[in-house]
Structures are given as C-alpha cells and as structure tokens.
Amino acid sequence: MMYKFPKSRLLPGLFFLIPALLAAEPFYSPAWGFRIDLPPDMELQAGDGRNKFSFRSGENVVFELAAYDASRYESIGQMALDVKERLGSSGDISGFNYYGMDAALMELSFPGSKGWALFVELEGAGGAASAGAAPAGAENQGGGPKPKLLALAFGPAERAELQPLYLSVLDSVAPAPLFALAPGPITEFAYPRENRKQVRPANSRSQAWIFDTDAEAAQSLVDREFGVLRRYGSGPYWKEAWIRFYRAIYRDSFDRLRDIALVLGQEWARGKDAPANGGSGAAAGAIPGQALKWVQSFSYERDLMGSDFVNLVSAALEGRGDCDTRSLLWAVVLSQAEIPAAIMVSRDYSHAMGLAGIDGPGARFEFAGREWLVAETTAQVGLGLINSETSDSGKWIGVNFY
C-alpha cells in the first residue's frame, strides 16, 4: 500500500512497544555449528539431542537430521549411496560444490513417501568456525574427511504440492555460521554462482559486481517461499510464517548484495549532503539517511497475481518495489555496514517499514530488547517519521535477522 503523509499526521517522537519477537527462531546445533530455519508447525518428536533429530508436522511432513563424525563416511558420495540403500530409495543422486564444501542432493522415493535428502560436509569435529564474511569465494580447506550432515525432508507420496516445502526446509540448512548469510544449498545447486558481471545500481554512478544468476535465483527463492507462506494463510502460525518468509529472503540476498551495498556506501559517504545520522565515522553516518533516500526514489510496484515482492537484486538494480521489498533492502544495506537493522510488517495496514538500531530523533519501536528508529520507505520523509494512521503498535510484527 502506498502512503501519503500530510504534515499534520507526521509523528516524529512516538515511542511504541511492539510485542516481543515471536518464537520462530532457527534451530541451531552448538555441538556441530549448523543451523536450520524450520517451518513454524514442525515439532521435535525424537532424537538424542546432539547428533540426531526428528521433526514432524500435522500434515505428516517429516524432517530428520543426523550429524556424523569424520570417521563414519570417507566422502559425501559414500554417505549418499549408503543412505539410499538403507532407505530403499529409487531416487537419483547429484553431487555439487557448496562454497567449497562437498554436497549432494537425492530425490527420495520409497514406499508411501516422497521428498528430498541433502548431504553436506560440516566444518569441523563437533563445531564450526565463527561467523564471518559470506562465502562468495570460499574454498575447501582439504585436510581429509570432514564431519557430515544428513537432512531428510519427506511426506506422503500422493502430496506432490508439498515438494516446495521440502526444498524450502533443506535450503534453510547452513552447515556452519559462515554460511548463515549466504544462499542456501538448494538454491546454489539450482543456480550456481560461477560467473561475475558488473552492474550499475539504480540511481548510482558506481559499478558493482554480482553473479550472473543472482537476480533469477533470488526471484526463484521469493516465489517458492511465498508458496510456502501461503500454506499458513490465516492459521495459528501465520505470524511465524511471515517472519520465516522475510528471514529466508534476507539470508539469500545478503551476499548477493554485498558489493552493491559497499559501492553505494562509499558513494554516499563522499556525497556533500551526506547526513550524520547513525553509526560511527563518516561512511557509517551517511548510510541510514542516504539509503532511505535511495529506496524512497524507487518506482512503486506491486504484483497482486504473484508473490507481490520484487526480489532484492532486481530492486537494487532497477529501482522498483513495494514497501516490504524496499524495507528489507534498506535493512540489508545497513547490516552490510554493521548497523543494526530490522523490519516491521503489518497485515492490518498492508504495510512494512524499516528499523535501525541507531541514535536520532523520531518515532521508535521496541522489540527484541532494542529501541529501533523507524524508517518509512515509500514516502519522501526523514528517518523517525511515521503516519499517525499506522501507529498502533499492536498491529505490527517485528522481524529480526541473524
């Protein structure tokens, strides 16, 4: 929804309390370092609490995880063949490289069930390296066999419409903190990032690097995740499903936008009208306000027949998108500069806004233990200004990221 802001309804100094962040956090293994962002209705049913976990939903969708130390399987191929034989599955196995980690994908087909299996190396015995830059150029460090993760997602064979859900679950796997802000393994398998090209971001004088598959891959993920989101409709988990939807897009797009955010930040820092709003230092200080002006300049676009969300790569290059596209893109740009950022969305208002954990005057919203300064991305207003018609905090959902 496009909002107009008459001066009498701009509220610069409000302080609202958003309900606490919903319990929809990704599943994380401190023992092995991997992370999975499960759909909200998946409940833990069995496992040993360290190496094996079994989740199930009310639709008889099953998601199982098993981590194995390096001595169990010499290679991913050996592991995949062993699992295929033990399950009695007739599906094909396809090996691929996931940012330097050996991986494989297998279609599951056994009596009464269909789905997919993901096999991927883990970084180290009993734990992974700390988070760092996303692995656009990550390389396999070698050094012999590595621990490995098996992830299975399957359900009733006659429920073909569940296939995108299985792929969504497996795509949410991050085998180490290093990959928590990189495209997931299923998307990387389908759209490998191999060839770079130079592009010019919307309304920019600078050139940036992306991969030639980035926009197509990002839109494919948006469309798939929107289909998963629609499954929850107005049911009891719709809020958690919304959070997961935006979190999946944020994760997928973060590294795709890394160089775009870098060159824009440098350009804004050099600008003579760069505002000193947020962060420390000239570059960080310029980013929140300049990034807001940038997304506010986009053409307003909606697709009521589809996901109604322009992927963030296309939005950044073509200067177009709805309120949630712009808010999420703004949050990614801030996060790339290490400025705390989030978004808030409202089904009641059909609207979304950006949030920044920075100093400055204006309306603030509190959630996830922080007071956030609001950013309206679809009207030509400054940071901290909000329309009084959208100021009921009970109608907003806060969406935090990694």
Q: Among 20-29, 66-75, 161-170, 390-399, which is the least confidently predicted range?
A: 20-29
Q: Tell the burial category of 86 from Cβ atoms under 10 Å away from its Cβ (0-12, 13-18, 19+).
A: exposed
Domains in the chain, number: 2
CA dist 232 and 335 (Å) reads 29
Q: Are residues 115 and 215 in the same domain?
A: no
pLDDT tens-place string over residues 226-251: 999 999 988 999 999 999 999 999 99
pLDDT at residue number 300 = 86
Residue 90 sits in the same domain as residue 12: no
Half-sphere exposure of 288 (CA within 13 A, CB side): 30
Element (H, E) at 163: helix 163-171
Expressed as residue numbers, the domain containing 354 is 7-22+200-399
- Whether 350 maps to a domain, the answer reads yes
Query: Are residues 271 and 158 both part of a single domain?
Result: no
Does 212 map to a domain? Answer: yes
Is the same domain home to 120 and 236? no
Q: Note whether 301 and 342 are same-domain residues.
A: yes
| pLDDT interval class at 398 (50, 70, 90) | very high
Mean pLDDT in residue range 127-153: 66
Is 70 exceeded by the pLDDT of residue 137?
no
Report the DSSP pairing between strands 15-17 and 364-367.
parallel
User: What integer pLDDT is reported at residue 177 of this predicted model?
Assistant: 92
Burial of 46 (0-12, 13-18, 19+ CB in 10 A): exposed
7-12 average pLDDT score: 51
Q: Using CA atoms, how far apart are residues 149 and 289, in angstroms rounded to an integer?
A: 43
User: Where would I find the H helices in 178-280?
Assistant: 185-190, 214-230, 238-254, 258-270
Show which of 151, 171, 191 is a domain's final residue: 171
Q: Domain check: are 162 and 204 in the same one?
A: no
pLDDT of residue 16: 59
- pTM here is 0.90
Orientation of helix 323-336 relative to helix 281-296, angle to 10°:
170
Q: pLDDT of 68-103, one tens digit each?
A: 999 999 999 999 999 999 999 999 999 999 999 999
- In the chain, the percentage of residues whose pLDDT exceeds 90 is 75
Are 47 and 62 members of one domain?
Answer: yes
CB 175 within 8 A of CB 238: no
Residue pLDDT, tens place only, 259-277: 999 999 999 988 744 444 4
